[in-house]
Amino acid sequence: MKEFNVSRRIFSVLAVAMLSGAPMLSMAQDATKFTNYGWPENAYEKISPKSVAWLKEKGWWPLQVAFQPPWSGQNTINLVMDKTGLLSKRGIEAKFQAFPSGPAINEVIISGRFQFGNGGNFPFTTLIDKNVPVKTIAIINVNLMHAMLVPLDSKIKSIDDFKNRKEPATIGLVTGSSAEFYIQAAAKAHGLVIGKDIILKNMPPGEQMAMPKGIDAVVPWDPTPTIMVKERKNARIINDSYPYNIYGSSFYVRQEVIDNAPDVVQAFTDAIVEATLWIRKNPDDAVKAMQEDPNLKNFSAAILREQINMYNNLDKPTYLYPIPLFWGRANEPIYEWLYENKRIQNKTSASTFITAVDARFMDNTFSKLGWTVPKLPPFLPASWSAPMDKIPYPKYSTPLNTTKPQPFPEKGDLTKDWSFDNKVYKK
C-alpha cells in the first residue's frame, strides 16, 4: 500500500507537469547528464545512412579534412577531434591531412578533393573571391600571434628602423597568408614603402624558424615565433599583429555537403565544440595527441602546452561562434587591401563574409549545451565600439597581455544549467 501511494504521488506530479508544460521542460533539462568535460551525454546523433550513401557516391568517403599542424589552436582542435574519435562516435569516417599553409589548403579545396578545411582570414577571402562554394561553420582560432622577428645581433630595434635604408630589408614570410596582410597593414601604419624600404620574400614556416643568413626579418605565426624566442633563442620580436588586425580563422565546409548531408555538417560542428571542451579539461592529454602527429613530434611538450593555454583555453569557448557581422567587419580591411592590390577580382565587403557563414549548425550546438550566442567575441570588452577601418586598434585581450583564462560561465553565458568538471552551473 505504501509503494502504491508513492507511485500515485509521482503520477500526480507528472500529470501536473504535463498540464503546465514548463515544469516538465525544466525536469527534462535538469535530467541532462554531462561528461566531466561538459558535453551532454545524450547528444551523440549518428549521421543517416542516406548521407553516408551520398558521400560514398561522390567519392567523399572517408571525408577529407585539411588542417595546418604548424598553426596553434586550430591544430589542437583538429588533432583531438581525430585522435579521440569524436567523429567516429557520430558515424563519420574522416581523414585529417596536414598542409604547411593556407594557400596550400586552398589548392585542394578548390579542386574539390577535400570537403572540410581550416583557413585564415586571408586565404578564406581568396576562396570567396574565386566563388568556391564553401561556408564557415566555426571560428576555429582567434588572436593568433603573427610577429616580426629579427636576429639577436640585428641593429633593428623596431619596425620604424626599416625606413629610409640605403638598401631595402628582406623580409621572409608566406605570401598569400595572413602574415602578409599583417606586414602590409603594419608597413602602411608606420610609413614603410614595400619595394623601397622592405622586400617580401616567400618562405615556408620551417625555413623562417631557422632565421637564415641574408634575411633581415621573418614574419611567422605561432608556434614559430614562440619557439624561436623561447627555445631556439635565435631571434627577438620587434612587432606583433594585434594593433593591425583582429584575427579570426574559419573551419569551413563545401556547400554541397550542407545541401545534401546537413547532419554531417552538424556532427562536425558538435565535434569541434566537444573537442574544445575536452581540451579545456585535459590539456596535458591534448599535448600527447598533438605529439602523435609527425609534423609536431619534435615540438617540445612545454611549447605545445603553452600554446594550448594561449589559443585554446584562454578565451571563453564561445569564441567558436562565427558571428557574421563582426567578423565581416573585422575582415573588411583585408578585403579592401586585396582588391586595391589586385589580389582579388571582386570588390568585397562585410556582407560578403556574412553570406559565406552558415551559423545554423553552431546555433544548434549552443542550444544543446545551453550556451548564449555572443554578440561580440569574448576577448573584446562589452563596450567595444572602435571603427574596424582605423588602425592601430585600442587594446583588447590577447595572449600577449592576458595570461589568466577568462572565467566561464559568467552571468548571461547560459540559457540553461550546464555542468563542467562535475560542477553544475546555474543559468
Give residue limits of the domains in the chain: 1-30, 49-142+249-361, 147-240
Supply the CATH classification number for the domain 147-240: 3.40.190.10
Return the number of other C-beta atoms located less than 10 Å from residue 22's C-beta. Answer: 8
Q: How does pLDDT run across 61-79, given as a tens digit for each residue?
A: 999 999 999 899 999 999 9
pLDDT at position 286 over 50: yes
The region of weakest confidence among 102-111, 295-304, 336-345 is 336-345
Residues 184 and 159: their CA atoms lie apart, in Å, by 12
**Average pLDDT rounded to a whole number, residues 307-316:** 98
* Per-residue confidence (pLDDT) for residue 219, from 0 to 100: 98
pLDDT for position 122: 87
Confidence (pTM): 0.90
What does DSSP say about strands 63-67 and 169-173: parallel, antiparallel, or unpaired? Answer: unpaired
Three-state SS at 134: strand
pLDDT-based confidence at residue 330 (cuts at 50, 70, 90): very high
Give the model confidence (pLDDT) of 393-414 as tens digits: 999 999 999 999 999 999 999 9
- pLDDT, tens digit, 9 for 90 and up, residues 184-236: 999 999 999 999 999 999 999 999 999 999 999 999 999 999 999 999 999 99
Closest CA to 304 of 287, 289, 288: 287
Burial of 153 (0-12, 13-18, 19+ CB in 10 A): exposed
**Same topology between domain 49-142+249-361 and domain 147-240:** yes
Write the CATH number of the domain with boundaries 49-142+249-361: 3.40.190.10
Q: Output helix, strand, coil percentages for the chain, rounded to the nearest 5.
A: 45, 15, 40
> Dihedral of CA 310/41/290/136: which sign?
negative
The span from the CA of 406 to the CA of 348, in Å, is: 34
CA distance to 174, 175, 300, per residue, from 232 (Å): 21, 24, 11
Per-residue pLDDT for 4 more than 90? no
What's the whole-number average pLDDT of the chain?
A: 92
Mean pLDDT of 122-132: 92
Which residue did the predictor score with more confidence, 145 or 164?
A: 145
End-to-end CA distance of the chain: 40
In this prediction, residue 31 carries a pLDDT of 65
At 94, list the grid cell: 574522416
